[in-house]
Structure 1
């Protein structure tokens, strides 16, 4: 199995696991709130952080599968070689954005959160762990788009 397919499979399975944990977490919240009458204190915060991870890692997964939303008016009207050049330009722009915003900005956010010792209110986990998904997703997007760039 190729390396990209392995990453796709691992990332897909991780997203399924996170989603399953989130569903169980929300069901537990509903059960404790409405059946037992005493809502669980950590479930709201955990659901929020899991949703962040689903959204950001899901964006990387969708980017790797080339299923993301795209405006393709210009490439669809261009000829074959011009279409490839436009796609390569788009890949370069995505790589630059992912590097600057997600990887560099994400690592700065993780580093600052770590230095300040920020922890979540209910779970008492370091916020740096929650924010770590941002640079991870950026690295994955860069890998996927670099791979796509080299294929074209």
Structure 2
């Protein structure tokens, strides 16, 4: 591989690691907040009067955790995949099928960015029942997570085109 291409790919992979490193503590913090909010909800219902906003916060946190954690799983190659047929293929056909799958993923994720953004706009007038939070903020995670996963898929496409492996299994765990 050309040294400039290798350098570019290295830069792209570092950008992936930076994004991943920024999202991981957000997901962890949101999980801890979700546990705290649900605990407050249960304790308040059992011993006192229910705290009204806890159900809403728990629901919103779960939505954000789901989408952001999906980006982490995507980067690490942890999403469910049936690969036995592709794995049985020899070198070039395997790479071409993998490339085709990545292109389909980018198309799907690009559509999700557009649809998610449009859905955000449609819901922008709506406020949540308890906290009066604009629903734009709740739905913003959909196009954000799709864009991040599309970026990760594009880096994989570039790696494949440059003759490198896009496999996440080769990277050390963070």
Q: In which range does the TM-score fall when normalised by the shorter chain?
A: over 0.9
- Ranges in structure 2 where 5+ consecutive residues have no aligned partner: 1-10, 161-174
2:149 maps to: 141
Runs of 4+ in 1 over 3 A off after TM superposition: none
Report the TM-score, using the length of structure 1 for normalisation: 0.94
2:120 maps to: 110
RMSD (Å) for aligned C-alpha atoms: 1.1
Query: Which moves more between the two structures, 52-61 or 13-22?
Result: 52-61
1:129 aligns with 2:137: yes
Count matched residues.
148
1:92 aligns with 2:103: yes
Q: Note the alpha carbon deviations across 1:77-112, whole angstroms, 9 max, x for none.
A: 100111111111110000000111x20000000111
- Following the alignment from structure 1 to structure 2, what is the Cα–Cα distance between the partners of residues 23 and 104? 32
Give 1:74 shift. 2.1
1:34 aligns with 2:46: yes
Choose between structure 1 and 2: higher helix proportion: 1
1:83 maps to: 94
- Ranges in structure 1 where 5+ consecutive residues have no aligned partner: none
1:8 aligns with 2:20: yes
2:29 maps to: 17
Report the TM-score, using the length of structure 2 for normalisation: 0.82
1:74 maps to: 85
SS in 1 for 2:118: helix
